[in-house]
Amino acid sequence: MTAKTAWFKGKDYITTEEWTEDQIETLLAVSADLKRKFRGRIPHRYLPDLTIFLMFFDKSTRTRNSFEAGITQLGGHAHFLTAEAMQISHGESAKDTGSILSRYGHAIAIRHDLIPGEGNRYMREVARWADVPVINMQCDVDHPCQTLADLMTIREKLGRNLRGRKVAVSWAYAPSYAKPLSVPQGLIMLLPRFGLDVVLAHPPEYRLMPETMAAARENASRAGVKFEVCDTMDDAFRDADVVIPKSWGCLDTMGANPQESLRIATQYRHWICDAEMMKRGKPEALYMHPLPADRGNEVTDEVIDGPNSVVYDEAENRLHTCKAVMALTMAGQEIPYETE
């Protein structure tokens, strides 16, 4: 099939909210096809000699390496860039950075996720001036490459018909750093659109951005599924088919004072996903985490290394989904793909 792929050329992928369910279905279908080709060593050089610039304002293992490996497998090349190594650190504007990079290559991908109110705004300003697709590698609002991989993984494990299935998205304790809010925000906005009931749990200090909560409610209502909020991991996990417990920082203080999120978190050390907590969910409930996980704090080794955990499949799907995003938005020609 190629017919539906023409729409994507040159499009930005900044939040899943800006893409329709049909467009996301195409992304998932191309991801599955690219996974099959990768595993079968079937060449898929859809982006020969094209360049993507990867701009990081934060650290990364999965995102950087899936994009770098992915563009190589598609026949192109990535430049790994950090804000400190660029003139951004001397104050160069998003307009100048986006305009120049888009004259040197064929896409710009950006991670700018730690300061609420900044990252999404920055990448939209780059996109306003760039003539090439801008791809969100995680901002303060959404992590659309992660949530796409999560949806792909859930479908691989539970099938395409997810009606009546329940996902628990829960805050969990982590002392390592104040993690961005964008993963839980992205999950609560995307998953209801594909038929999943979603329950969100967090201590009172760890509220999410109001606009993402409103989008989650609206999306659930339109899809005829549930979106509920509770204040314990216990309640969220009850009869869940999928659990995604992870830490995030305090919306109000994490930009100016990330240590404050860690200080407040110490009173919630019991928000850990252990074997006892997993018993609240269905016996076969999937344990998911975007990684990196704080082992021993967010989750016990027994759970993350146990039979219900699908974290490595989930991380692998980051490769196939980011390749689909790059192939569809960057290619000058249509991308052929087979549907299952």
Cα separation of 11 and 58, whole Å? Answer: 24
- By the rule CB under 6 A, 146 interacts with ligand CP: yes
Structure tokens at 280: 């609240």
Q: Which stretch binds ligand CP (CB under 6 A): 76-84, 123-131, 174-182, 284-292?
A: 284-292
CB of 153 to ligand CP, least distance (A): 12
Cα separation of 181 and 242, whole Å? Answer: 19
Q: Which spans in 74-198 are helix H? A: 94-104, 119-129, 144-158, 182-190
Residues 6+ away with beta carbon under 8 Å from 59: none
Q: Are 120 and 14 in contact (CB under 8 A)?
A: yes
- By the rule CB under 6 A, 16 interacts with ligand CP: no
Residue nearest to ligand CP (CB): 63
CB of 138 to ligand CP, least distance (A): 6
Cα separation of 254 and 272, whole Å? Answer: 21
Please pick, from the candidates 33, 290, 293, 317, the single residue that binds ligand CP as defined by CB under 6 A. 290
Please name which of 238, 249, 241 lies closest in space to residue 202, comparing C-alpha atoms: 249
Q: Are 178 and 151 in contact (CB under 8 A)?
A: no
For the beta carbon of residue 5, count every other beta carbon within 10 angstroms.
19
Tell me which residues in 35-64 interact with ligand CP (CB under 6 A). Answer: 60-63
For ligand CP, give the closer residue by CB, 135 or 331.
135
CB of 66 to ligand CP, least distance (A): 8
Q: Which stretch binds ligand CP (CB under 6 A): 196-204, 227-235, 259-267, 289-297?
A: 289-297
CB of 65 to ligand CP, least distance (A): 8
Tell me which residues in 91-130 interact with ligand CP (CB under 6 A). Answer: none
- By the rule CB under 6 A, 291 interacts with ligand CP: yes
Phi/psi of residue 309, each to 5°?
Answer: -80, 135
Phi/psi of residue 162, each to 5°?
Answer: -100, 5
CB of 201 to ligand CP, least distance (A): 20
For ligand CP, give the closer residue by CB, 148 or 331.
148
CB of 56 to ligand CP, least distance (A): 9
Cα separation of 280 and 275, whole Å? Answer: 9
Site size toward ligand CP, by CB under 6 A: 9
CB of 137 to ligand CP, least distance (A): 7
Angle at 101 between CA 95 and CA 105, to 5 degrees: 145
**Which positions touch ligand CP (CB under 6 A)?**
60-63, 138, 146, 290-292
